[in-house]
Amino acid sequence: MDTWFVYLIRAAGGEIYAGISTDVERRLAEHRAGTGAKYLRGRDPLELVYRRKIGDRRLALVVERRLKRLPKAEKEAIVRDAPSRPRLLRILAVRRPNPE
């Protein structure tokens, strides 16, 4: 079973993009090469500003969806505070975390 991570990338215009991956460095390289998410294409430079080990894919998808729905100010707070996994799950009101 793969371990999934959630990550946040800041684009040139200040936008913050949320994603998930089992290999964040590989995924960041894909985004920078223009082969990742269409949203980030042409928005260089891209900076990885937050990553956190989440667990299984199902939980990672829930966390990603909730991060994407946050207002920019709340995403900025996550970047600034770099919450731990348990704290991030509390912030996002995710109630079914996998044990780790």
Task: Judge contact between 12 and 44, C-beta under 8 A.
Answer: yes
Give the model's pLDDT for residue 95: 78
- The model's pTM: 0.92
Domains within the chain, CATH numbers bracketed: 4-91 (3.40.1440)
Give me the tens of pLDDT residue by residue for the chain, a chain 100 residues long: 799 999 999 999 999 999 999 999 999 999 999 999 999 999 999 999 999 999 999 999 999 999 999 999 999 999 999 999 999 999 999 976 555 5
